[in-house]
Structures are given as structure tokens and as C-alpha cells.
Amino acid sequence: GRFVHRDANVEKQAMGRAAGSAQWASGCVISDKYKFAYIHILKSGGSATKEFLKKSLCGEDDIDCKRVDPRVVRPIVCKEIPTKHPDYFTFSFVRNPFSRMYSMYSMMDGFPRQKGGHVVIDTVSFSKFVMTEPNKRIAFTKMNSAHYWAQTDFIFSKNSCPSFDFLGRVDQFDQDMRTILEHLNATEMIDYL
């Protein structure tokens, strides 16, 4: 992973496109206690990252963090992070684009198209899926089209400025998350890696 160097006069800007609602599934995550925000890039380890954050901050028996003060950790609408929490340490994880594409393809089965109330079984080869323009892949599945956005759309502003302070890699999650937690002085969370 890499830290972003930002000159003192350059502020974080809003993401170019922000997906997700204030829900655990697709939303981003914030902690007022540790002053961090996690940007969930769809199909880039977001579910696993949020499971780690919930388990390490809420305990293994509170899977939706309902018994924990919301200032410890909670889901947030992603586009609110740079404007409402500009001083929070913001991080995200990216995934190998080929692995991410295959994950999108594999996820299609869980979101089949329906026609007249019946599931449409349309066998789409992986090569056809890859070669189809992202905005036209919706013909294969009812999965939200935000899953097809480029990873950069989630973490860079319209002016190509990063909206994050640290960018980790899914394939080295434990190492990069350890770096993040040490930076945040949240070392008690390391035991959950």
C-alpha cells in the first residue's frame, strides 16, 4: 500500500462518482473514535474489509454493530466523507483488475435478469462479458451498474485528485491493514487480522 503525499494547501476533494448508501452492504465506513473513513470500492474486498472492521470494533457477537456507540464505527454515505470529515484519515483497497472483472462475472448468477416474472437464463461467456461495454453489461444481470465502474471512479475526484490518504491492495490486505492500524494508533485491532 501507499500513503498519499498532499501539500498542505491541497484539500481532499469529493470522489468523482460515489456509490453506496449509509448501509453496511454498499456504503463506506467511518469511525469518530479513530478518526478514519473507509471508502468501499465495489468488488474490491469491501465486504471482507467491513467484516474485519465490524469484528475488531464491535466484537464477534455484534455483527451489525447495533450494541456499540455509533461514534466507534458506522456505515456512511460515501460522498459525505470529504465534505463532512475532511480531517479524517481516509483509506481504501484496490484489487487486481483481472481478478475484479472475474468477481463481477461470477456475481452475475446472484442477480439474474427477469422477464415476465421468470428468471432469464442467458449463458454469457466470460470473454463476452469482458468485451461488452460496462454500461451495456446491465443486459446480463440486474446487479447495480456501479459494480462496473473503474476503481479510480470511487477514489479520485473529477479533477483526478485522490480522495484518500492511503491506498492498500487486496492481495496484501493483512500487511496494508496493519500499516493503517499502526498509523491510526489502533493497534488493539491488529489481533483480529
Give the model's pLDDT for residue 134.
81
Residue 179: the pLDDT is: 97
CB 177 within 8 A of CB 168: yes
The answer to whether 166 touches 2, Cβ cutoff 8 Å, is yes
Question: Is a pLDDT exceeding 70 seen at residue 168?
Answer: yes
Closest CA to 45 of 192, 176, 179, 183: 176
pLDDT in tens, 90-122: 999 999 999 999 998 888 777 777 666 555 556
Task: Pick 87 or 12 by higher pLDDT.
Answer: 87
Confirm whether pTM is higher than 0.85: yes
Task: Tell me the C-alpha distance between 157 and 39, whole Å.
Answer: 13
Q: What is the mean pLDDT of the chain?
A: 86
163 close to 89: Cβ distance less than 8 angstroms = no
**pLDDT 10s digits, 31-56:** 999 999 999 999 999 999 999 999 99
Residue whose C-alpha cell is 470500492? 41
Range name among 14-18, 48-52, 157-161 with the lowest pLDDT average = 14-18
Q: Which residue has the higher pLDDT, 121 or 179?
A: 179
Percent of the chain with pLDDT over 90: 50
DSSP H helices in 38-124: 46-58, 81-84, 97-107
Whether 57 has a pLDDT exceeding 60, the answer reads yes
Residue 41 exposure: Cα atoms within 13 Å on the Cβ side: 28
pLDDT at res. 31: 97
pLDDT band, residue 124 (cuts 50/70/90): confident
Beta-bridged to residue 28, according to DSSP, are: 76
